[in-house]
Amino acid sequence: MDALETDKPILSAPMAGAAGPELVAAVCNAGGYGVIPLWGNSVDQVSAGIDELRALTDRNFAVNLNLSFPYKDQLEACIDKGVHGVSLFWGMEPSAIARAKAAGLVVLVSVGCADEARIAADAGADVIVAQGWEAGGHVWGQVSTMALVPAVVDAVEIPVVAAGGIADGRGMAAALMLGASGVWIGTRFLASSEATIHSDYRARILQASEADTQWSHDLYDVGWPAAPHRALSNSTSKAWADAGCSAPGNRPNEKELIGQRPNGDPVERYQSYTPLPQTVGDVEAMSLWSGQGVSLVREIMPAADIVEEIYLDAKKSLQAGDVLS
């Protein structure tokens, strides 16, 4: 993909907690483009995170920053470090796009509708990430990938990367047919050997069907309020649904401590938290982020093999010209 100077137009989606330097480097080294989430960190931690990733790959990558958390100093750290790209999500901030662009970074902006894509492109974005409603984790818009991608492609003249529900070569081929220049894949990489998630979480990903996820406006709102998201249905979401999907403040067992992070910090029920490998407690009841494409995720594989398989299968799908004959 020219805008990203990468061999294969496959991007590993930033996944806070789950997509660390090993996963991102493996994708970059396999010819894809990795995006590392470094938001929520201090400036020094952002710089250290970039150094850590650079020790594992000399390929291009982008740093993902969350616009609803402090990001300005973190963006300056990315600029000082001369990273190839920056990916901005959860908001629209033309001044941040312009600042990164003026500093020479490739700017990727996540959107949920065509109007946002136009604003981002006018502000100088290089690549639009069109995130459909099928996506796992926090989901910015409410339009499905199938409808969103062509609408965004028609709205802007810059490359569009499709996100949400894409987990294999067929999905990639479909996205390219809709006009996307590349794909941004999250849930499938949760089943990579390099993803840093708890084994119970990974086991649920490998078993879940396309109907096993739940989108909610504010279920896992502790630590990040009013931010819609999609996660696997579990005992927490089922008890909440049985109680009538009540609003925060009125949900079953609020403030209950259900586990501990590897650093000893407590995990509360309804907390926005990606269970890391050494998490202890009731992992099943935590926010097990997942997209609807989860039914296509059936095997743990090295990230490089996932990139290769998706790329070759997409190529095959696109070369099979006899579909309509």
Ligand X SMILES: Cc1cc2nc3c(=O)[nH]c(=O)nc-3n(C[C@H](O)[C@H](O)[C@H](O)COP(=O)(O)O)c2cc1C
Residue numbers at the binding site for ligand X (CB under 6 A): 13-16, 18, 37, 64, 89, 110, 131, 134-138, 163-166, 184-187, 274, 289, 291, 293
Task: Using the Cα atoms of residue 225, residue 227, residue 231 and residue 237 in order, give the sign of their dihedral.
Answer: positive
Assigned token pair, 77: 């750290």
CB of 85 or CB of 186, closer to ligand X: 186
The residues, ordered by sequence, that sit 6+ positions from 69 with a Cβ below 8 Å of its Cβ are 39, 40
CB of 249 or CB of 311, closer to ligand X: 311
CB of 146 or CB of 253, closer to ligand X: 146
CB of 247 to ligand X, least distance (A): 24
CB of 134 to ligand X, least distance (A): 6
Q: Is 40 left (phi over 0), alpha (psi -120 to 50) or beta?
A: left
User: Which one, of 263, 241, 267, lies nearest residue 252 by Cα?
Assistant: 241
User: Which one, of 303, 282, 115, lies nearest residue 201 by Cα?
Assistant: 282
CB of 37 or CB of 150, closer to ligand X: 37
CB of 11 or CB of 114, closer to ligand X: 11
Residue nearest to ligand X (CB): 186
CB of 300 to ligand X, least distance (A): 16
CB of 40 or CB of 253, closer to ligand X: 40
> Quick check: 179 and 160 in contact, CB under 8 A?
yes
* CB burial readout 246-273, b (16+ within 10 A) else e: eeeeebeeeeeebbebeeeeebbbbbbb
CB of 57 to ligand X, least distance (A): 19
Ranges assigned E (strand) in 146-232 = 160-163, 182-185, 213-216, 229-232
Strands 10-12 and 182-185: parallel
* C-alpha–C-alpha distance, residues 21 and 55, integer Å: 9
CB of 12 to ligand X, least distance (A): 9
CB of 248 to ligand X, least distance (A): 21
CB of 6 or CB of 145, closer to ligand X: 145
Residue 89 forms beta bridges with which residues? 66
CB of 161 to ligand X, least distance (A): 10
